[in-house]
Structures are given as C-alpha cells and as structure tokens.
Structure 1
Amino acid sequence: MNELIHKLVRKYRTNSPFDIAEALGIHIRYCDLGPTTKGLYYRKLRRRFIVIHNGLTPEWERFVCAHELGHDRLHKGVSRFFMEEHSYFFPGKFEMQANRFAVLLLSEGQPPLTDETQEHYLSRIGLPKEAALFFDPKTEH
C-alpha cells in the first residue's frame, strides 16, 4: 500500500485526495447521507463517484475523500459504505484497508516531528483525532 501511495503522490504531485480524485476522473458529490454514513464510493455506467456527507468538518471531508479514494484504488469494482465508528457496524477488511490508505495518503511526506504527540501531529496535518485508531507505528513514516 505504501508503494501505491508513493506512486500516486509522485504522479500527481500532491497528497490531496480531492486533486487526485479529480485527476483520475472520479466525480465528487456532497449530500445528506444521514446520521451514520460519512461517505460512499460507487460506479455507475463506467463513471466513478465519491459522495461525502455534507455536514462534516473539513478534516473529516478530507479523510472520507481519502478513504473512498482508497476503495477506488484498492477494491476495484466494489462499492462500500464508510460508516461511523460509533455505530454497531464493524468495519470489515475493506474498510480497515481504506482507513489505512487514507491515513497513509494524508500523512505522506509529513512525518511527525521529534517528541510530537500523536494528537498534535494529527491536528498539524489536518486529520481528525479519531484517525489515530488507524496508525500503525511499525509502518508509519
């Protein structure tokens, strides 16, 4: 997964999931997805879409866009919903992979500073504090 992310960032010269999605021809839409769904990815008639809940903070919008972009890159042909972590839905293997993809993409090229707390690091790179659940210290930058 790290190599895939490095290639995307090198090719598109950004780690912005919005810019990468646009370059890949993925359409981004916003709408009310209800109280438990933050985003979704789907294909229709050869067109790809990322739909983001319109009530999210900018940090969550970035994370959800990166998560759904992860589904596009990792799980070709599979539409998956990104459910709130506080619901009764247990994220399966695909969801955990998309969460890791999002964290790795959004932290690409921005390693933690010496003695920087994880909370401060997440805030500095614009990730929601809940993203700490998806960090793996053995594979991080």
Structure 2
Amino acid sequence: MGDITKTVSKLKSKFKSSDPFFIANKLNIITIHEDLGNTLGYYSKHFRTKFIHINGKVSEKCGYFVCAHELGHALLHNESNTPFLKRNTFFSTEKIELGANFSAMHLLFSSVQKGITYCEFKEYGIP
C-alpha cells in the first residue's frame, strides 16, 4: 500500500488538489455521468482514451468517491478489466478493488484533521 500512498501523494502535490474530477481532467481522463442502473461507476479505456463512468443518480459526495475510486483503477492498473475477470475467470479481483478503495481514501481523506464518523462515510457511499 506504500506505493499507492506515494502515487496519490505525488498527484496531490503536482496538481495542488485532492479533487478527483480536477485530477482526472488534468490527466486527460474523460468523466461521464450516465444512468448505470445499480452500478456506481466503472473505468474504461477505448484505444488510448481513458474514461471514468459515474452513475448520474448518485449523490454529489458519493460521485466524488466513485470518481476517486475509478481514478485509482486508471492509475494503478489501467489494463485490468475487473468485470471481465469476475465473470469469466477465477482470478480474485479483491486486491485490485482494495487498491482502488485505498487510493480513493488517501486522495479524499488523508488531510482530514478530525475524525470521520460512520454517517460521513455513508454520505460518500463508502461501505
């Protein structure tokens, strides 16, 4: 997890921001809000263009966490197709998802001085 912390810290320092939408934009990753049914979001790459898809029905705070999580996928393992791996292989995607969650938490909450309550986590859609 140390590599993830370093990667996220470098991004925050480079762009002087912890806003995942701002960082995605600076990295030329297109964010799209659309109806995704029960899916919160996903990362995709079409040729060399990267996309973060976010369910347009989620709250603004939840959207920030989803964007940060998918940004983690884009940065840490942009060639992995977790939906395919889950459906068609016995490969465990838990480590990939854990890394994306850890990067999102570090991006959004590493500079928070006070404790965060369970209710605040729920507002961001964090399980």
TM-score range relative to shorter protein:
0.7 to 0.9
In the other structure, the counterpart of 2:79 is 77
Instruction: Give the one of 8, 11, 23 matched to 2:11.
Output: 8
CA contact (8 A) 1:42 1:78 kept: no
Note the 1:57-136 alignment, pairs <5 A: 57-80=59-82, 92-112=94-114, 116=115, 118-119=116-117, 123=120, 128=123, 131=126
Q: Number of matched residues?
A: 116
CA distance in 1, matches of 2:5, 2:81: 22
Checking the alignment, whether the CA contact within 8 Å between 1:41 and 1:80 is kept in structure 2 is: no
Shift, 1:109, TM fit: 2.0
Contact 1:16 1:106 in 2 (8 A): yes
Percent identity, please.
32
SS at match of 1:43: strand
Alignment of 1:15-94 (within 5 A): 15-35=18-38, 37-80=39-82, 92-94=94-96
Scaled by the length of structure 1, the TM-score of the pair is 0.73
CA distance in 2 between partners of 1:6 and 1:34 (Å): 33
Whole-angstrom CA distance in 2 between matches of 1:47 and 1:55: 24
The 3-state SS of whatever aligns with 1:97 is helix
Counterparts of 1:22 and 1:72, CA distance in 2: 12
Superposed displacement of residue 91, structure 1: 6.1
Larger helix share, 1 or 2: 2
Q: SS in structure 2 opposite 1:68?
A: helix
Alpha-carbon RMSD: 2.2
Per-residue CA deviations over 1:94-116 (Å, capped at 9, x if unaligned) read 1111111111110132232xxx4
Q: CA deviation at 1:43?
A: 0.4
Equivalent residue letter for 1:43: K
**Larger RCO, structures 1/2 (Cα 8 Å, 6+ apart):** 2
